[in-house]
Structure 1
Amino acid sequence: MLKTKLATLSIVFPLLTACGGNALQVKSEHVSDEKIAEIIANIESFYPDADKELKQHILEVAVKSIDDMVFIEGGSFMMGDFRTPCIYKSLDNLTWTPDAKCWSGANARKTGALNLHKVTLSSYSLSRYETTYYEFDAFRLINNLNVLDYEMRVVKYPSSYHSYDNRPTPIQKWQEAKNYCLWVAKLTDLPFDLPTEAQWEFAARNRGQKIYYATNDGFIRYQGGSLENEYGYHIDYKAEEINFDNDVREVGLLPPNPLGLYDMTGNASELVNDWFSKEYYKQSPELNPKGPDEGTKKIYRDVGGSRRFVTNRGVFEDQPEYYPLYGFRCAIQLIDPI
């Protein structure tokens, strides 16, 4: 199980922004000292008047954003509702076969996901974790905004302020998620952005395999659940078998999918870059689709509910408040590993 700071980082690069005690330090296994120096120079250039503590916070977020990237080799797959078995014992343990002929549920019809279509993607990188409070705090603070849940974290219970650090940050408006990824791009000089819907699904399905859940084995096992064996007995899941939780929790606590991506099924639902259109799957280009050119609503994935299938599409509109239901993760739009 991951520790609360998540990244397992070992090499320390102390880099001076001035003399003596003004050194900023960050740990990284993968980001070169030259790249870290470049990020520090960007921080000093963009935010010369920020205090050292906030600069350090921003530096840690920028470097960790690179460290957390998982390279996803491109390829082709059939995107959309690839159908489910019509007869099954449990929705939690579905296995696809060529005989699977039934729609996955009402979501597929309502959102257009039933229109199966071929997609070919170039390679890209995707964050192994959903964006956290700690990361989003830096973005808000440098833009002179209060951290989220300010009343709870700062006014009422300041001693528990950091207990939120590794929870997925909630989002009220899609543009906030977009702006955050572009802000990290500005800090790092790398093309961070939200993933496209196709990129998200390809990665969640372990490069497009016909699996129903983006867990370590394609099934879901939760606390208090059980599986019916061949003799008709229900066997409770063991603690070490649990790979899914309906509640929002710290990121990275349960096993990742085979690509090393955490919480692609479970935790917060995730905003992606695309506009929503129910008809888009009928007209989507095969190569690197990016969604409609315009629209009024956005797409989110990992849609909650009793059938949390990886092919489900959600339709997002800006919310009146910051609900923990919605979060996001960033991608890097480069065809080579970082």
Structure 2
Amino acid sequence: MTTEFGRRVAQVAAWSCLSTGSALAQAPWPVDLVNPKPATDDVVLPMPCGGSMVFRRVNVPSANALDDRRVMLGNPEARFAYAENSRSDYVGGGFSDAKVKGQRYYLIGKYEVTALQFDAVSGTCPAVNPDGRLPKTGITWSEAAYFSGRYADWLAKNAAAKLPQEEGAPGFVRLPTEAEWEFAARGGVAVGETVFEQPAFAMPEGPQRYAWYAGTDSSNNELNGIGLLKPNPLGLYDVLGNAGEFVLDAFRLNKYSRLHGQAGGYIVKGGDYRTALADLRSAARTEYIPIDKNGERRDKATGLRLVVVPGALPSATRLQSVRSLWTGLADSGVSASQSLTDPVKEVEALAKATTDPALKARIEGVGNVIKANIQARNEQRDRSARSEIRVAAYLGRKILEDGLKIRAQEMYAKVAPDDKKIRATIDASKENLDATLNYMIETVKQIGLDYPTATTAAQGEILKREFEARSVPGYTPLVDLVMTRSQGARTGKPVSKPELLAELTSMEAKVLNK
């Protein structure tokens, strides 16, 4: 007992030392142990003992604090359906970007937490050596969560100014949710939806260059240091293979398009160095039962990766804003003069009119169902608006590309004026361009007639953030053009074909990066 008591006292004393600014005075760790593949947009946070941890932004284009993004997670493959069948989930970014309208984000660890980083927060500064570059494994879920709490505490006391802020409050580190982890592992908005829903992110140089999996051609069935391979589209290393990664959520089975109601153990994501290549996938979700007959379980191939997020309600200002946004979630868009036809208002009026508590509860329950249905409809409307704006922007780019092709064909025709085949090709190209222009005009008109101005404005900004995230240049002026023209169509202004073509031509250099 005396020995155990003494050990705990020593731990507390050591932690007290690390909780002070003196820890920052330690010599910085070698870069190859904490950030072997530096990038200009890395976010680096300090750690005790002269250490650091590197994070990457995960952008989630959003109109406001209550706007989130529906994503398809899971895997349709039958052999994993009991746990992973495809399902809708939602992800949101807690931090707002002050410089970019409609952009929100969270941070996720660029690498798996290493042994050196884990030990630096344990209470005693570790020896700095190459072995510290290995991911920290063999820990319990409770120890992973405790580590995130200790590191969050140290950051708040020693480096709060280095943390991203939201509404004046600093963010904090924790384990990621499964949706946060899988959204980032798949590539987030840096990839298109078709690519996002593939079993794993694209690996053009072969899987052995991106993931440590079972076999002599890859991991050789052993743990490997961080950052030795290539990253996923968000610049994250070892998200698949090497060490499995704990997330915050409890494990639940799948019940077709949703998760089952019973929560079991914890979830481990990503597979590890023992996982066969055929089983390596973003949707993989293994249940980690925290105890067995010997007590708390430890697995030699399971570790962790952290996220940095703010509170959902970091300030009184945000609370007031969220209350206002929440009230408007079920707004059906009717004017005040039509309020009696608004089912939500009708139900609220009925609930207020009755003095029977049981009846009141039933009416309010119906009201909640109606609100949820209206909210789902509004979200579907937003996604449809964004999709139609995207189509119109694509059509605008195609018109410009076809115009370039026609000019090239006409230059050739001047050299070979008797070539009837090239004249026929030019005529066909012009017909196609005119058809595309008509299609764009009809799409722009329909956007203006089908969607409120506020919807197209918000979804247009989100779409621009998506194009930027995927490094697809030239679409911002096209999206702006579509929004402006669709708003004109909404007010009854016709979309003139010559004017639209002239406006498109004027932005050719910007769109096609000439």
In 2, the alpha carbon distance for the partners of 1:267 and 1:31 equals 23
**Match of 1:266, SS?**
coil
Q: What are the equivalent positions in structure 2 for 1:225-304 lying under 5 Å apart?
A: 242-246=209-213, 247=219, 248-279=223-254, 282-283=257-258, 295-303=263-271, 304=275
**Match of 2:108, SS?**
strand
Task: Please identify which structure carries the higher helix content.
Answer: 2
For residues 269-321 of structure 1, the C-alpha deviation after alignment (integer angstroms, 9 at most, x for no partner) is 1110000111478456xxxxxx97x8440001113333111111111123666
Match of 2:354 in 1: none
Match of 2:177 in 1: 196
For residues 92-126 of structure 1, the C-alpha deviation after alignment (integer angstroms, 9 at most, x for no partner) is xxxxxxxxxxx1x52x2231x11421424223110
Match of 1:79 in 2: 73
Equivalent residues of 1:215, 1:243 under 8 A apart:
no
Tell me, yes or no, if structure 1 residue 212 matches structure 2 residue 206: no
Match of 1:139 in 2: 121
Aligned in 2, Cα 1:181/1:16: closer, same or farther, shift over 3 Å? closer
Aligned in 2, Cα 1:26/1:117: closer, same or farther, shift over 3 Å? same
Tell me, yes or no, if structure 1 residue 60 matches structure 2 residue 27: no
In 1, the alpha carbon distance for the partners of 2:311 and 2:155 equals 17
Q: Using the TM superposition, name which of 256-265 and 316-325 deviates more.
A: 316-325
Normalised TM-score (structure 2): 0.39
Aligned in 2, Cα 1:269/1:31: closer, same or farther, shift over 3 Å? closer
| RMSD of aligned alpha carbons | 3.6
Tell me, yes or no, if structure 1 residue 69 matches structure 2 residue 40: no
Equivalent residues of 2:70, 2:90 under 8 A apart:
yes
Aligned in 2, Cα 1:77/1:268: closer, same or farther, shift over 3 Å? same
Tell me, yes or no, if structure 1 residue 110 matches structure 2 residue 87: no
For residues 173-232 of structure 1, the C-alpha deviation after alignment (integer angstroms, 9 at most, x for no partner) is 101111111111111124100000000000000016123224654x8432xxxxxxxxxx
Aligned in 2, Cα 1:203/1:25: closer, same or farther, shift over 3 Å? same
Tell me which amino acid in the other structure corresponds to 1:330: L
In 2, the alpha carbon distance for the partners of 1:263 and 1:115 equals 23
Equivalent residues of 1:172, 1:318 under 8 A apart:
no
Give the count of matched residue pairs. Answer: 228
In 2, the alpha carbon distance for the partners of 1:187 and 1:178 equals 14
1:333 counterpart (278, 297, 309): 309
**Match of 2:118, SS?**
helix
Equivalent residues of 2:266, 2:290 under 8 A apart:
no
Shift of 1:136: 1.2
Aligned in 2, Cα 1:283/1:183: closer, same or farther, shift over 3 Å? same
Aligned in 2, Cα 1:25/1:272: closer, same or farther, shift over 3 Å? same
In 1, the alpha carbon distance for the partners of 2:172 and 2:119 equals 21
Unaligned runs of 5+ in 2: 1-19, 32-39, 61-68, 94-104, 157-170, 190-195, 214-218, 313-514
**Match of 1:170, SS?**
coil
Q: Using the TM superposition, name which of 322-331 and 125-134 deviates more.
A: 322-331
Normalised TM-score (structure 1): 0.58
Equivalent residues of 2:70, 2:88 under 8 A apart:
no
**Match of 1:137, SS?**
helix
